[in-house]
Structures are given as C-alpha cells and as structure tokens.
Amino acid sequence: MQFDDAVLECFLKGQKKLFPREVAGNKKEAEDFLEECMAVVVDSPKEVWEYFEEEGIDPDCADPQGILEADEVFAVGDGRYLIVEG
C-alpha cells in the first residue's frame, strides 16, 4: 500500500499514542514501518469498524464512533483513518 504525505505526517505526529517511543523519525522510516506492519487507510468510521470486525479484533467500545478512540486508529484529518496494529 502506498501512503501519502498526509498519512505519513499523521503517523509521525501521533505514533507515541500507540508506542512508548518513536518508531520513525521521518517520512521514509514511517512508510517503511507502516508497510512492514501492514497498516491500512480507510475512508470512514464505518470502515474502521468493519476492519476491526473482519480482523476478529473485539472493539472495547460498543458504538462505531467510539472505536475511533482506539490507540491503533489515527485520524488523518481529511476524513480518512490510518489503522496500525501494534
């Protein structure tokens, strides 16, 4: 999967939400890391919910909007969401 600049910047800014220390210091490192852990970008909160269900991950919350607060979910800022399994 190709990750555009908005997605890479989002991850670089928010990576400490999911990891105790930075795992990437620049866009190239971020792209390599996201590709390695098979991160995905989805287009809506509904698709975030569907991703968690398809992967067999039991969401901690009961409503689709609440899932957006999961550590693995990063709001890109343009309506898309990056999902990174830590």
What does the pLDDT profile of the chain (86 residues) look like in tens digits? 789 999 999 999 999 999 999 999 999 999 999 999 999 999 999 899 899 888 887 665 556 667 888 899 999 999 999 999 86
| Tally of structural domains, the chain | 1
Nearest to 49, CA basis, from 78, 81, 19: 81
What gap in Å lies between CA 42 and CA 23, rounded to an integer? 22
What gap in Å lies between CA 53 and CA 20, rounded to an integer? 26
Give the range of the structural domain holding residue 33, as residue numbers without chain letter: 5-83
- Whether this prediction's pTM lies above 0.75 is answered by yes
Strand extents, DSSP E, 1-86: 40-42, 73-75, 81-83
For residue 67, the model assigns a pLDDT of 84
- Amino acid 47 reads E
